[in-house]
Amino acid sequence: MKHLKTLMAAATAVLAVAGSAQAQESIKIGDINHYKRLAAFAEPYKKGLDLAVQQINDAGGVLGRPLEVISRDDNGKPGDAVKIAEELMTRDGTVMLTGSILSNVGLAISSLAAEKGYIYLAAEPLADALVWESGNPYTFRLRTSTHVQAAMLAEEAAKTDAVRYATIAPNYAYGTAAVAAFKEILTKLKPDVEFVAEQWPALFKIDAGAEVQALEAAKPDAIYNVTFGTDLQKFVREGSTRGLFEGRKVYGLLTGEPEYLDPLGEESPEGWFVTGYPWYGLEDGPGKKFVDEYMAAYPDETPKVGSIVGYMTIQSIAAALTKAGSTDTPALLAAFEDLQVPNTPMGDIMYRGLDNQSTMGAYVGTTAIKDGKGVMVDWEYKNPVPYMPSDEEIKAKRPAE
């Protein structure tokens, strides 16, 4: 009898330890991004993501369990991203997917999510097809839409007397969507506008000299620029050298983002009206709080747009898990509908049940050079909702569910 009691006590202890371990098992999130190909954005994104995970886990985790992010590099290739997504969900036990910067990669993951019933929070991809024409119940998007940012620039452009416009954008989903939106919205605001040239360089393979020459030959009054990364650097340098920007208004989507403006230093363009992130000008509120916490965590790093996207991605996931009270896909899907995410670096946001798009806004302002660096001045934060298409227009765009 004594031996039996000993065995029973041991078994009870084993079960207690196992139960405790199970209670502490992490909630795994699959993160797919272009860490090598787009390091300038992806590295700050990962730092923002890691900071949010650390803060959440230090506060006790979510549903009594720590969050764990499994990050994988897809080399910026849609095929690689789809393969990794399958592995993360089936082999690694993640409960949902997130990440991606390039829109063609995000669209590939989104298609897989719809096919397999995986939840995918597209952190950065800007092509609006993600939540509109190719939208599906399993795909959500954090970043401010291309349509909204283009509308903010078009609103400013319509205030000027410029009539002849030229555009330059990378020839893939994001670039084509960005140009289409700007043309559509500016034409509505100013019907006499004329688009006299469109240049479509291959992504990260721009022949800046040829592009600048073609734009100059069209003699536009103003230019709409959608290039970013190394393409932007080459375009700005070549355009400045050849006088393309002199006497012309320039509107730049993403140009004010530190990851793209910082590398230009003293060569940064001046007087462009852009979307971006003036972290150095935030003086209070959740935006300033994030800047301080980020720089305390990474003393040698200033925050970028990638930083806030990574941070807000994890905030969104934690909010969805908390609301769902579960890691099950049906519960998470229900939780994401009109999900409220308070106190993000860009204020309170929500994910609209209408199209799975968040209400993260954008900063707009004018570029200048200060202390040898490109900055945004005269900036303001704009709520995206007034710049979105009507509910009826969005419903018409999305596939029937």
CATH code, domain carrying 73: 3.40.50.2300
Kindly provide the residue ranges of all beta strands, DSSP E only, lying in 35-137, ordered along the sequence. Answer: 67-73, 97-99, 120-122
- Residues 327 and 342 reside in one and the same domain: yes
Asked whether residue 249 is domain-assigned, the answer is yes
- Do 101 and 239 lie in a common domain? no
Same domain, 81 and 165: no
Pair 73, 186 in one domain: no
125 and 174 in a common domain: no
Q: Which domain holds residue 249?
A: 147-281+363-387
For residue 61, being part of any structural domain is answered with yes
Same domain membership, residue 375 and residue 258: yes
Query: pLDDT tens, position by position, for the chain (401 residues)?
Result: 444 444 444 444 444 333 433 447 999 999 999 999 888 889 999 999 999 999 999 999 999 999 999 999 999 999 999 999 999 999 999 999 999 999 999 999 999 999 999 999 999 999 899 999 999 999 999 999 999 999 999 999 999 999 999 999 999 989 999 999 999 999 999 999 999 999 999 999 999 999 999 999 999 999 999 999 999 999 999 999 999 999 999 999 999 999 999 999 999 999 999 999 999 999 999 999 999 999 999 999 999 999 999 999 999 999 999 999 999 999 999 999 999 999 999 999 999 999 999 999 999 999 999 999 999 999 999 999 999 999 999 999 999 86
* Helix and strand element counts for the chain (H, E): 13, 14
264 lies in the same domain as 321: no
Q: Are residues 84 and 175 in the same domain?
A: no
Residue 48: phi and psi, rounded to 5, are -65, -40
Is residue 141 a part of any domain in this protein? yes
Among residues 46, 111, 52, 41, which one has the least CA distance to residue 76?
Answer: 41
Say how far apart CA 314 and CA 163 lie, in whole Å: 43
Q: In this structure, are 157 and 59 located in the same domain?
A: no
User: Where would I find the H helices in 325-390?
Assistant: 329-336
* Measured distance between the N- and C-terminal CA atoms of the chain, rounded to whole angstroms: 64
Structure tokens at 292: 């301080």
Task: Note whether 354 and 247 are same-domain residues.
Answer: no
**Residue 97, in any domain of the structure:** yes
Q: What is the per-residue pLDDT for 40?
A: 86
C-alpha distances in Å from residue 242, one per residue of 44, 230, 251, 256, 309:
33, 18, 18, 22, 35
Task: Give the three-class secondary structure for 350.
Answer: strand
Question: 144 in helix, strand or coil?
Answer: coil
Residue 29's Cα: distance from chain center in Å? 17
Q: Is residue 19 part of a domain?
A: no
- Does residue 49 share a domain with residue 176? no
Helix (H) or strand (E) holding 6: helix 2-23
Q: What's the domain count of the chain?
A: 2
User: Contact 346/308 with Cβ under 8 angstroms?
Assistant: yes
Question: Do 264 and 313 belong to one domain?
Answer: no
